[in-house]
Amino acid sequence: MNQDFTEHFRAALRIKTDWPGNAEAGDSAAEKPLVDFQNFLAETFPSFHTCAERTVFSPYSAAYRWPGAADNTGAVDTAPALLLGHYDVVPAETAKWSFDPFGAELKDGYIYGRGALDMKNIVISLMESAEALCRNGFKPQRDIWIVLGGDEEKTGIWGAKETAKWLEEKGLRFSFILDEGTPIAKDQIKGINKPLALIGIEEKGFLSLSLSVDQKPGHASQPPDEQAAAILARALLRVSRRPFPWHLTPAVEAFFKQLSLQSTGAAAFAMKHARMMGPLFYKAAGTSPATKALLRTTTAITQLEGSLADNVLPSAVKAVINLRLLPPWTTETAIERIKTVIADKRVNVSVHGLGTDPVKSGQDQETGNSPGWKEITTALEKVFTGVPVLPFLMLATTDSRHYQNMSKHIFRFSPVLLDPEELSRIHGHDERISLENLEHCLQFYTALMEQL
C-alpha cells in the first residue's frame, strides 16, 4: 500500500466539508472548508496541476482539462472523456460514531471518516492516479476532463449545474462520462453467492414534495372537530397504500437477463423472461425492497412538522415525501399522480427543492457496445479479475444528471467491494473503507486513464 496515498486520503477526510444545518450558497462557514479542500488538492498534487488546466468556478466546483495528444474533435473514440466526483459530504451525528467522523482514524485495516466511501476515496484516487501518471511522463491520447463538485449533497445546483452549463456553452461533447455509482456487490442479491460489478447505465429521477394543511392556530384545550394533522395523516396513508405501478425499463431488463446467467432453476428462468412473465415476476421480485426499487417509482415519507409546543394547535402541519422516479414517470406526471391519489384540495402539494427527471440509458449501453464500456470493464478486469459485470439502474442521484446533454453514454460506478453491512455505512454511522478497497480505487482509475 502506497503510504503517501493513504496519508493524502486521511488528510482529505480531516477537512470538514459537510453541510452544517440549513446552510445555503454564500454561507461562509460552509464554503471555507470547500475552498480549503480545493487548495489542498493543488498543494498535494503539484505534477497534475502542472499537466492540467484548472478552472475554479466557486467553492462548489473545479474543472481540470488534461490535454491529450490526439485531435479529439472528430471520431467518438478520440472525443474527450469526463470523470466526475464530489468532495462535500453529509453531516455526521458525532455522538453515535465510535470514532471522530473527521479524524480519519486507521484501525484494523479500515480508515474511518465521513466521506470514506462517499466519495473522497474516488476523488483522491483520481488525483493520485493522475499525479503519478503525469510525474512519469504519461500523456493521454484524448483530453481527459475531471470535474469535482462541492455541493452534490445539496443537489449540485451551484456546482455541477453551473459547470455543466459552462462546458455546454463551449460546445463540448464527451465520448463517455463516469461518475460515482453502484459498487461491486457482495452478498447483496438473494441467491447469488459471487460478487457482481454493477455499472449504472440509467438513473432514477429525484423529486421531493411538501404536503401541507393549514388551520387556525389556538389553544390545544379547544381543538376543532377535524384537525389539520388528521387530514394530512389521511393523505399520507392514501399515498402509502397506492404505490406507483410496476415497470420494467430496458436497463433493468438487461440486468435481470444477465443476472439469470449467475443463477439456476426457476429463478434463472424468471429473470431471463421477466417481461414475458409480467405480474408473476413483479410479485416475486416485490418481496425485496432492493429489487422493488428497480421496478417502480418509490415514495418515502421523510419529514413531519407540526406545532412547536405540545399545548398549541399548529397553524400548519407539513410532511415531505421523497420520490425516486422510474421512467416513464417525470416530475410533472408524478406530481399529478400524487394529487390524484390524495384527492383532497385541503392538502397543498408543492415541490420541495430541486426535482429532476430520470436519466435513461444511452444507445447500446444495455448491450455493452457503447463508448466507455470497454475502457471501464478492462480496468475492472485488471483489478477485480473474473468478477461478472452487469448493467444496472442507479437508484440514487449523482452529479452526472446535470451533464446528460453532453454525452449519450453515462456510467455510474464505484470500484469498491461492499457487502450489505459496509454499504449501510454510506450516509450512516462509522462510515469506513478498507485499505484493500482504497487500493482498488487507485488501481482502477490508473488502469482506466492509461487507456484514454
Class of domain 205-351: alpha beta
Mean predicted lDDT score pLDDT of the chain: 93
DSSP secondary structure letters along 180-199: EEEEEESS-STT--S-EEEE
* Structure confidence at residue 242 (pLDDT): 97
* Structure confidence at residue 290 (pLDDT): 81
> Which residues are identified as catalytic?
88, 152
Residues of the chain under the 50 pLDDT cut: 74, 76
Q: What are phi and psi of 13, to 5 degrees?
A: -65, -30
* Residues 438, 415: Cα–Cα separation, whole Å: 9
Can you say whether residue 173 is alpha, beta or left, with left for phi > 0 and alpha for psi between -120 and 50 degrees? beta
* Structure confidence at residue 77 (pLDDT): 64
Q: What are phi and psi of 176, to 5 degrees?
A: -155, 165
DSSP secondary structure letters along 3-67: HHHHHHHHHHHHS--B--TT--TT-HHHHHHHHHHHHHHHHH-HHHHHHSEEEEEETTEEEEEE-
* Residues 432, 426: Cα–Cα separation, whole Å: 8
Angle among Cα 234, 290, 379 to the nearest 5 degrees reads: 145
Class of domain 3-203+358-449: alpha beta
* Structure confidence at residue 244 (pLDDT): 97
* Structure confidence at residue 72 (pLDDT): 53
Contact (Cβ atoms closer than 8 angstroms) between residue 102 and residue 194: no
Contact (Cβ atoms closer than 8 angstroms) between residue 10 and residue 103: no
Cell of 257: 437477463
| Domain edges within the chain | 3-203+358-449, 205-351
Q: What pLDDT digit, counting tens, does each position of 187-242 carry? A: 887 778 899 999 999 999 999 999 999 999 988 998 999 999 999 999 999 999 99
* Structure confidence at residue 289 (pLDDT): 82
* Residues 56, 76: Cα–Cα separation, whole Å: 27
CA 242 to chain CA mean position, Å: 27
* Residues 24, 124: Cα–Cα separation, whole Å: 26
